Amino acid sequence: MAEQPWTERFRPRTLREVVGNEEAKDRFLEWLRSWEDGIPEKRAVLLYGPPGVGKTSLVVAAANDLGYDLLEVNASDYRTAKRLKEILGRASTQQVTVTGRRRLILIDELEGLSGREDRGGVEAILDLIRETRAPIILVATVYTSLREAWERKLRELMKLSLPIELRPIPVVEVIERLREIASRVGVEVEEEVLEELAIRSEGDLRTAINDLEAVARGRRRITLQDLEALGLRDRQLYAEEALRRLFTAKTLQEAKGIISSTQLNYDELIDWIYENIPYILDDPRELSEALEALARADIHKARAERSQAYRLLKYMFDELAGGVALSLERSQGLLGVVERHLRAMGIPLSLLKLEERPEGVSIAPVRYLGGDTWRRVNMAVRSLGGSWDREGRRWIVGYLRPPRIALRYWWSREKRRMLKSISSKVASRMHISTSRAVRDVIPILKVIFQSDPEMAEGIAEWMELDGDEVKWLSKG
Amino acid sequence: MSSEMWVEKYRPKSLDEMINQEEIVARLKRFVEERNLPHLLFVGPAGVGKTTAILALAHDLYGPDYRNYIMELNASDERGINVIREKVKFFARTAPIGDVPFKILIMDEADSLTADAQHALRRTMERYTRTCRFCLIGNYSERIIEPIQSRCSIFRFSPLSEEDVKRCLRMIAEKEGVEVSPEGYDAIYEESRGDLRKAINLLQAAAAASGRRVDADVVYAVLGRVSPGRVREMIQLSLKGEFIEARELLRSLLIDEGMAAEDILRMIYSEIMRLDIPERLKVRLSDAIGEVDYRLTQGSRPEIQLSALLAKLVLVGEEMRGGGAALD
Ligand SMILES: Nc1ncnc2c1ncn2[C@@H]1O[C@H](COP(=O)(O)OP(=O)(O)OP(=O)(O)O)[C@@H](O)[C@H]1O
Ligand SMILES: Nc1ncnc2c1ncn2[C@@H]1O[C@H](COP(=O)(O)OP(=O)(O)O)[C@@H](O)[C@H]1O
Ligand SMILES: [Mg+2]
Ligand SMILES: [Mg+2]
């Protein structure tokens, strides 16, 4: 038998193996179980969310665990309403199959027919739902950034069914699943590798597992260095190239050319620029103008995405090219930034020799510094992301650093979701508004959950916090 | 074992247990005896017993299953006056069973409603007077429209005294087996003043963080983890020209503390208004903050928008030091 890709090989067979989204899972199962007492009010569930979070897997695992006979179709394979009805019409009128097993209908990849030309398809599905005697599950892949537009489009389907959203899987859960897979295939993987893979996947477990398979192929042990093979290295090179050329561009036209020809996507490009601008522009006015231009570029991009009027992206181009790239005039680049920073930290520059080198700005003591001074310089350099090069007896601050914003922003979105659910529990039990709960009580809860497990346990029970919420509050 | 937050565990059940607010309590007790109530308006600062008083009154009036006779709404969490009216309508539709002919609707943070919403609420209050009494709660009576004020008995709650607060804290500490040094109590009171909710929460966090031995240092350590002092630090760093550090701090506020960008922005605003800088710069910064505030509603990335604002602060700082990059 040909070897299956790991994503298939480790597709969850049981509900227990489907990680994350506990609350959504519970609601889904509750609905499915409600069929045991007759046909419920909502005859269909609409599972939606970004790719690779386990939508299809959840249905397959539930069918397995609860003993359903799964009839699975892809909406996009039956582009005409007539075909869809032919396939599903009869099945949906029977609650059990000829073998006596209960029937479950899965209509996957619904997003394939969300367009206007598929009106008929949507109508056909609406009809099916109204009449079905077997549970129907609709599954749609919806990118978070397009959610609103999408919800508008499928409003009727959402109304007629019970919509359940699956969200990106939290990093810790991705790590755990990867660790389990690694141990089942018998590869030893450094913890940092798992973390890096999990973070990069942005909650998409399929991507994470694919990446793991790609690095693990033919290896027994994986270290962080092996990861570079996966492309971070490439991104870094592209970004270096793009940023270097951008900040030396002389005309708007030239800068736009660079932006449109880079291998990075717009988000990556904005992230890289954002991360590195303060290390390139040391002149306050130039820094301020460039960041403002970047912020405007970002807003143009957001508007384009929200309205799906992609022509608006050209304004983003202009801001990035004209506003950001052409901002560099007086600034001295990283050398200037380092000088300024050391001076601000009260370190006499006469003690050090600063110079630009291919690997970054080098900061070498001109004479023996003594422990205290050395430590002060070291701290200052480290806060710029630099480090001591023992052999060269100097510090090096690299020109570019990879962006952290995507990861961080993602965390904070995750966090906001948690805050919302925890704060509404706090609000109703403590007789305060949710915003006061966030401001005044959640910080208190965090202190408690991070220092007194016993007290925390009691409170968790009282507030009926779920596992994700407890984990979140307990995280440092 | 399930256990409540201390603020709830030690919330007085009955009016008799209330700390201070003596006149108010006496008047409320009379209502209980008469088994009748006007509409009520409670005003006063946070954590002084407003919610407690109405819950205790309901308890004394209806008995232990008083929850069946009241509904609590928080105006700042409800989506618009129409939703509120629907809920009230549903709640007040029927008279309660028993010897009290009305239910009580508690509307917290009523002073956050717009004047229009309050007018709409007033009509609703009138319509259901037969079966429902309203207890409106807020911080400022000036923010409640005249016509509502004139239909309610107004009760003004005052902050609790240092003695009251400390006595209450001591009682809780004793029951929970927490040792607190005198300086520990001072530190808690210093931060919370007459807001007993804040004081009790702080005591509980400090107890948790110290294995139940609280002194002033423990309290300050807890405060460092919860207070908005970090926003101030971020602004100061920016003004000093330390943009990179300021951005790190911003990240930590967004990520580690999970603060919403809007909240950070609000704090930045109030800090800046307090800064000792030329007024015209304040106006200019206020304009910039307003712009960021709007952009946040448009789906742009909060961190980038807030960073751009920090960079403007760097520029202001530079100007004030008389640097070359003067703002025009
Ligand atoms: N929650 C999860 N628990 C365990 N494994 C998962 C989970 N989510 C995804 N996977 C892994 O990723 C693979 C793909 O998952 P699945 O097909 O369920 O994704 P999906 O959400 O339906 O994505 P799409 O929207 O692209 O169809 C699975 O075979 C499994 O290996
Ligand atoms: N006057 C008081 N008597 C007793 N406890 C009080 C008093 N004021 C506040 N508290 C305590 O503080 C907490 C918050 O009080 P609460 O009545 O909810 O404040 P608010 O005035 O903001 O509505 C209560 O749980 C209670 O433990
Ligand atoms: Mg799928
Ligand atoms: Mg209250």
Concatenate the DSSP letters of all residues of B291-326 into one string. Answer: HHHHHHTTT--HHHHHHHHHHHHHHHHHHHTT-S--
Across B68-75, average pLDDT: 94
pLDDT tens across A287-298, in order? Answer: 999 999 999 999
Nearest CA among A293, A285, A289 for reference residue A318: A293
Of A279, A344, A435, the CB nearest to B242: A344
Q: What is the mean pLDDT of chain A?
A: 84
Residue in A with minimal Cα distance to B74 = A433
Q: How far is residue B90's CA from residue B86's CA, in Å, rounded to a whole number?
A: 6
For A34, A39, A95, A124, the CA distances from A133, given in Å and listed in that order, are 13, 7, 6, 16
Query: Which of residues A284 and A233 earns the better pLDDT score?
Result: A284
Confirm or reject contact between B328 and chain A (CB < 8 A): no
pLDDT at A406 over 70: no
What is the Å distance from ligand 1's center to A155 Cα?
A: 25
The β-bridge partners of A72 are A106
What is the Å distance from ligand 1's center to A16 Cα?
A: 14
CB contact under 8 A, B247 and A443: no
Token pair in block for residue A212 = 């793991």
Residue A372: its pLDDT value, please? Answer: 87
Q: Of chain B residues 238-257, which have a CB less than 8 A from chain A?
A: 240-245, 247-248, 251, 254-255, 257
**Which residue, among B73, B270, B304, would best test binding to A if mutated, counting the most A CBs under 10 Å from its CB?**
B304
The amino acid that residue B177 corresponds to is G
pLDDT tens across B273-315, in order? Answer: 878 888 999 999 999 999 999 998 888 889 999 999 999 999 9
Across B241-262, average pLDDT: 84
Residue A366: how many CB atoms within 10 A of its CB?
10
Q: How far is residue B311's CA from residue B314's CA, in Å, rounded to a whole number?
A: 5
pLDDT at B202 over 80: yes
* Lowest-pLDDT range of A38-47, A237-246, B42-51, B84-93: A237-246
Query: Which of residues B214 and B253 earns the better pLDDT score?
Result: B214
Residue B327: its pLDDT value, please? Answer: 44
- Name chain A contacts of B242, Cβ cutoff 8 Å: 341, 344
Measured from the alpha carbon of residue A59, the closest ligand is 1
The β-bridge partners of A222 are A189
- Smallest CA–CA distance, residue B259 to chain A, in Å, is 8
CB contact under 8 A, A433 and B323: no
pLDDT band at B324, cuts 50/70/90? very low
CB contact under 8 A, B311 and A459: no
* Percent of chain B's residues with pLDDT above 70: 95
pLDDT band at A405, cuts 50/70/90? low
What is the Å distance from ligand 3's center to A209 Cα?
A: 15
What sign does the CA torsion over B231, B237, B243, B249 have? negative
pLDDT at A281 over 80: yes
User: Whose C-alpha lies nearest to ligand 1, atom 29?
Assistant: A11
Atom of ligand 2 nearest to the CA of B20: 1
Of B51, B241, B307, the CB nearest to A291: B307
pLDDT tens across A427-458, in order? Answer: 999 999 888 888 789 889 999 999 999 999 99
Residue A1: its pLDDT value, please? Answer: 43
Residue A261: its pLDDT value, please? Answer: 76
Confirm or reject contact between A341 and chain B (CB < 8 A): yes
- Name chain B contacts of A337, Cβ cutoff 8 Å: 244
pLDDT tens across A186-214, in order? Answer: 999 988 889 888 887 888 898 889 888 87
Of B198, B226, B303, the CB nearest to A409: B303
Count of alpha carbons within 13 Å of B112, Cβ hemisphere only? 14
Confirm or reject contact between B167 and chain A (CB < 8 A): no
Across B64-85, average pLDDT: 90
Helices (H), B177-214: 182-192, 196-209
What is the Å distance from ligand 1's center to A114 Cα?
A: 22
* pTM listed for this prediction: 0.51
- Smallest CA–CA distance, residue A393 to chain B, in Å, is 25
Mutate to test the pocket of ligand 2, among B14, B17, B196, B203 (most ligand atoms within 8 A of CB): B196
pLDDT at B33 over 80: yes
What is the Å distance from ligand 2's center to A423 Cα?
A: 19
Q: Of chain B residues 126-155, which have a CB less than 8 A from chain A?
A: none
A17 lines ligand 1 (CB under 6 A): yes
Cβ contacts of A90-93, under 8 Å, gap ≥ 24: A91/A134, A92/A128, A92/A131, A92/A132, A92/A133, A92/A134, A92/A136, A93/A131, A93/A132, A93/A133
Residue B35: how many CB atoms within 10 A of its CB?
11
A206 lines ligand 1 (CB under 6 A): yes
**Which residue, among A289, A436, A447, would best test binding to B if mutated, counting the most B CBs under 10 Å from its CB?**
A447
Residue A400: its pLDDT value, please? Answer: 83
* Percent of chain B's residues with pLDDT above 90: 60
Residue B26: its pLDDT value, please? Answer: 94
pLDDT band at B258, cuts 50/70/90? low
Count of alpha carbons within 13 Å of A205, Cβ hemisphere only? 33
Q: Of chain B residues 52-71, which have a CB less than 8 A from chain A?
A: 55
For A8, B244, B325, the CA distances from A282, given in Å and listed in that order, are 51, 10, 12
- Smallest CA–CA distance, residue B201 to chain A, in Å, is 7
What residues are in contact with ligand 2 under a 6 Å CB criterion? Answer: A 431; B 7, 10-12, 18-21, 46-52, 196-197, 200
What is the Å distance from ligand 3's center to A55 Cα?
A: 6
Q: How far is residue A68's CA from residue A79's CA, in Å, rounded to a whole number?
A: 26
Residue A401: its pLDDT value, please? Answer: 83
pLDDT band at A408, cuts 50/70/90? very low
pLDDT tens across A122-175, in order? Answer: 788 888 898 888 899 999 888 766 666 677 777 888 889 999 999 999 888 999
A205 lines ligand 1 (CB under 6 A): yes
Nearest CA among B183, B180, B158 for reference residue B170: B180
Of B72, B245, B255, the CB nearest to A431: B72
pLDDT band at A117, cuts 50/70/90? low
CB A450 within 8 A of CB A465: no
- Smallest CA–CA distance, residue A463 to chain B, in Å, is 8
Residue with tokens 């880079």: A262
Residue B17's contacts (CB-CB under 8 Å, 6 or more residues apart) are B56
Across A262-275, average pLDDT: 83
pLDDT at B326 over 60: no
Q: How far is residue A42's CA from residue A31's CA, in Å, rounded to a whole number?
A: 8
Q: What is the 3-state secondary structure (H, E, C) of chain A?
A: CCCCCHHHHCCCCCHHHCCCCHHHHHHHHHHHHHHHHCCCCCCEEEEEECCCCCHHHHHHHHHHHHCEEEEEEEHHHCCCHHHHHHHHHHHHHCCECCCCCEEEEEEECHHHHCCHHHHHHHHHHHHHHHHCCCCEEEEEECCHHHHHHHHHHCHHHHHHCEEEECCCCCHHHHHHHHHHHHHHHCCEECHHHHHHHHHHHCCCHHHHHHHHHHHHCCCCEECHHHHHHHCHHHHHHHHHHHHHHHHHCCCHHHHHHHHHHCCCCHHHHHHHHHHHHHHHCCCHHHHHHHHHHHHHHHHHHHHHHHHCCHHHHHHHHHHHHHHHHHHCCCCCCHHHHHHHHHHHCCCCHHHEEEEEECCEEEEEECCCCCHHHHHHHHHHHHCCCCEEECCCCEEEECCCCCCCHHHHHHHHHHHHHHHHHHHHHHHHHHCCCHHHHHHHHHHHHHHHHHHCHHHHHHHHHHHCCCHHHHHHHHCC
pLDDT at B110 over 80: yes
* Percent of chain A's residues with pLDDT above 70: 89
Atom of ligand 2 nearest to the CA of B46: 22
The amino acid that residue B217 corresponds to is D
Token pair in block for residue A422 = 């925890």
What is the Å distance from ligand 3's center to A187 Cα?
A: 27
pLDDT band at A409, cuts 50/70/90? very low
What is the Å distance from ligand 1's center to A184 Cα?
A: 18
Residue A193's contacts (CB-CB under 8 Å, 6 or more residues apart) are A215, A222, A223, A224, A226, A227
User: Whose C-alpha lies nearest to ligand 1, atom 24?
Assistant: A51
- Name chain A contacts of B299, Cβ cutoff 8 Å: 302-303, 305-306
User: Whose C-alpha lies nearest to ligand 1, atom 8?
Assistant: A54
pLDDT tens across B134-191, in order? Answer: 999 999 888 899 889 988 999 999 999 999 999 999 999 999 999 999 999 999 998 8
Across B315-326, average pLDDT: 74
Residue in B with minimal Cα distance to A293 = B308
